[in-house]
Structure 1
Amino acid sequence: MILPGATIGILGGGQLGRMLAIAAAQLGYRCHAYDPNPGSGAAEVCAEFTCAPWIDRNALGLFAAACDVVTFEFENVLAGPLAAIPPGKLWPPVKALEVAQDRLHEKAFAESCGGRPAPYAAVDSAEDLAAAIERIGTPGILKTRREGYDGKGQWRIDSPRDAEGLRLPGPNLIYEGFIHFAAEFSVILVRGADGEVRFWDSPHNVHRSGILTTSALPAPPAVVEQVPAARALAGRIAEALDYVGVMTCEFFATDAGPVFNEMAPRVHNSGHWTIEGAETSQFENHVRAICGLPLGDSRTVAPRVAMENLIGRDVERASAILAEPGAHLHLYGKAEAREGRKMGHVTRIGR
């Protein structure tokens, strides 16, 4: 057990790391962020900050030596250099990072745990893409296997003609068949070092231009009836990875049952509502799990909860939001409100 007063290392300096550090401070921990970006939002609320490249094994080793436990706030951290962090000091384990970093491996891993992803195929050339389209059909989405988030690194293909003359950005792509679904939802769980698992209620997620817009509870019946099967799969994935911490799996609710979309081995945007909407937030329970503390109650505390991302110029509504009863505003300290950039979120608690 890692007791309050110890230092938690956070790989990544974005808003998730920022909120992790805030939750850790409430429990009496110090945080040390590591990020190549000198403008790290997490660094603003951490006791210490290391600004160094992901490939700098020496800097990672010194960072790890200064921390009692290390975690990460996004999955695009390079896995190889993390060998500089001693085994048992990094949670979730590196294997979870390796699986989630590659969409092809991720879907195959979910299948090995009994999950059902959308039909998919590896694409390394124009010929591979043509063969994938012939086998899977259209519409579909061509994606980079690694990196890419919030709609980046994705190209929709509505007919075989769309693929003709398409300049592929390189090899290591994946083509996924389009899924007809009633709703999107996520399963957010926390798993302790002793194997105890707790789930939060699954929110109904709505995306716009590939970016999560809202996560709301209660979810519609189409989601609620598929949550047990989705939870069972997420639990098997966590067990197979010997997972410790918060993990999120995203699903499509379809006529044939839940279809696995992707996993995030970290706290997740669709769980931001838990800060005010649950007995224990995803951020606090992640800290509890990686430090070996008892897990907190994950029950929802209000009949209606809705989280809305503030994207780009949405942040200009901040003053109006503060005047709303039951609205809880979180801004991430980002100076430039670019299109598609998450500037903050608001959670509305309703009776």
Structure 2
Amino acid sequence: LGGREFLEHTRARGRRSQLVHDLMTLPLLDAPSSRDRTLHASGTSDVFTAPLGGRGFEDGGALVVVKRSKITCARDIERFEREASLLASLAHDCVVRPLGLIRSPPTYALVLPLHARGSLFRALHNSGAGLSLRSRASLVADACAAVAHLHERGVVHRDVKPDNYLLREDGAAVLTDFNAAERSDAVSGAITLHARPTGGFFKQYVVGTLPYMAPELITRGGASGAALDFEACDMYSLGITANEVLARAVPYSDALTETAQLHTILEARYNHDALVVAITSQQLRPALPPLEPSAEAPPPQLVALVQKLWSQGAAERPAAAEAAAAAAGALAAIDGQAAPPPQLPPRAEVAAATAFLDEAAAGPGGEGGEGGEGGE
């Protein structure tokens, strides 16, 4: 293959030769074409769209997403190989499936499907999509199922959040961005805090995104010498994510802290350090969705699941398989109580509610969907 190796992850065996031919038409990715568009750039990789130039595409090639690693040392290659190996070990409807792998030094890249509807975060907060309770419950069920599959295969994600779930055309939520993922038996929790956890500390040493990070990961970080349970950390992140989907509110966006100054109580937004203290010491959590009886109020079992998932103690959180079963049961309960019965399957309802995002992505300045990488 001219120095390139490809890992093909499609069930359509008959398309193997066509897929390899199409991938071979990708440039070495050093000079993006006019059709290429950067979706995300970080210190470790560039993520952008690129056309497959294979035969049968009248428009010059179907768009895919290329995640090109930035290689500066041997550890960068190890990181790339680790992510590729983890993805190759997974096979689930709600986990991203790579189309190919490019090893052509100095280019190391994953070829991923394009999800033009973008991230779950975008659908919740930036699009105006009218997602019904049933649609949101379906997305929560997908999010739980993806994490359950990872843990079943001995993989921890370590950055579960709505930005890292993408919406597929059929309405499924697909977990992506495995840059921080590790084998459960290989990851270490030995992070020593020599001072209070400042913003700079998080950027340099701690994997994750603060509002979604488990309290024990923020504070102890293994300072006592005990390894952290990163599966339990994933479950906490999943709980914050599930509540964000149900409540349709960014975590802690409405949280206020009270400060006494000159005998006056002043209310203000939490800054980084204050939020760390509130989450870890005061057990602050995002606001739950409205619980008053209504057509849009989540069922009690789904709210109870969220509260279990974000429990302060890691041992109190349910395992991923249990959470996935509970979320699927809640979705079934919503369907069973609907009157009249729903006309569309849950995912089809999500797909119908978000179809306009495809058109928005195609327009000038549209997001286009992260296509597998929601925000490293």
Higher relative contact order (CA 8 A, sep 6+): 2
User: If the length of structure 1 is used for normalisation, what is the TM-score?
Assistant: 0.26
Query: Is the helix fraction higher in 1 or 2?
Result: 2
Query: Is the strand fraction higher in 1 or 2?
Result: 1
- Bigger Cα Rg: 2
